[in-house]
Amino acid sequence: MIDQIVLLLNDYTFQVVALGTGFLGLLSGVIGTFATLRKESLLGDALSHAALPGIGIAFLLIQRKELSLLLLGAMIAGLLATLIIQVMSRKTVVKLDSALSLVLSSFFGLGLVILTAIQNNPNARQAGLSNFIFGQASAMLRRDVQLIAVVGSVLLMLVVLFWKEFKVFTFDPMFARTLGFSSKITETLLSTMIVITIILGLESVGVILISALLIGPSVAARQWTDRLSLMMIIAGVIGFISGVMGTFISSLAARIPTGPTIVVVVSFFVFISLFFSPKRGILANHFAYKKRQRAFMKQIRSLEEGKG
């Protein structure tokens, strides 16, 4: 067993995939923090599903599986979905959650129709397109990792440069407007960053599970701290560890998909945080409740003894 682990750690393919999924998890944890705090967790799910028809249409136009162009089509579809969601929630009586659900189901249905039509045609170049639904991290190449690293570094730099604007807009949009911040520009930039993060993870995690990688680390991190900066760091670390551990576990045995395994590891961190965090954990709240109950009963007994 130890020899197998050592051999796996020295394997070049494993190193490439683990590095790519780890950095993707880190980026998802950082960017997903804003979506979690703004109570827009479903936005990641809607945008990931909305990317599927963009992949199918891009393939119909170029007639070959060129990853960069397919992801460009996915990004355009994701930005279009973002625009539709914003218009529906602001200009009509449709609420945000209804708009998200409608866009999610409609775009995903359209994507399935397009991919089914493509796969029914005798074109050998369409092989592998269905992997975007559930992901196939084992197909990640060095250039894919480099793309994730470069684009992810740019997104992290934007977080640092616009830290004050993002922070104020996340917690108090009205106050941000009084300071002169443009809500439209800030929201558009944040939504675009979320879309790009989702697009980067489509190949490895897939459109169905990428939202869990986007939201899970920040949900776990929120249980441990009240500070945004520390929460973002914890979410990034959890995302990175989940990506590497998920890749490692899936590589130990045959036919274990990497994307779902990464999501399972993220879910493990979430449940551990929900139960065992010292401030907000279920166990901590239970013990605190019992402590208050004992103190209250002690006060009642003291009052009764005083009256007696």
CB burial of residue 289 (10 Å; 0-12, 13-18, 19+): exposed
Q: How far apart are CA 263 and CA 134, in angstroms?
A: 11
How many Å separate Cα 39 from the centre of its chain? 13
Q: Does domain 2-277 have CATH number 1.10.3470.10?
A: yes
The amino acid at 184: K
Read off the pLDDT of residues 281-306 as tens digits, 9 standing for 90 and up. 888 888 888 888 888 888 888 877 76
Read off the pLDDT of residues 206-258 as tens digits, 9 standing for 90 and up. 777 888 888 999 999 999 998 999 999 999 999 999 999 988 988 887 778 88
The model carries a pTM of 0.85
Read off the pLDDT of residues 28-45 as tens digits, 9 standing for 90 and up. 999 999 988 887 777 777
Q: What is the mean pLDDT of the chain?
A: 83
CB burial of residue 155 (10 Å; 0-12, 13-18, 19+): middle
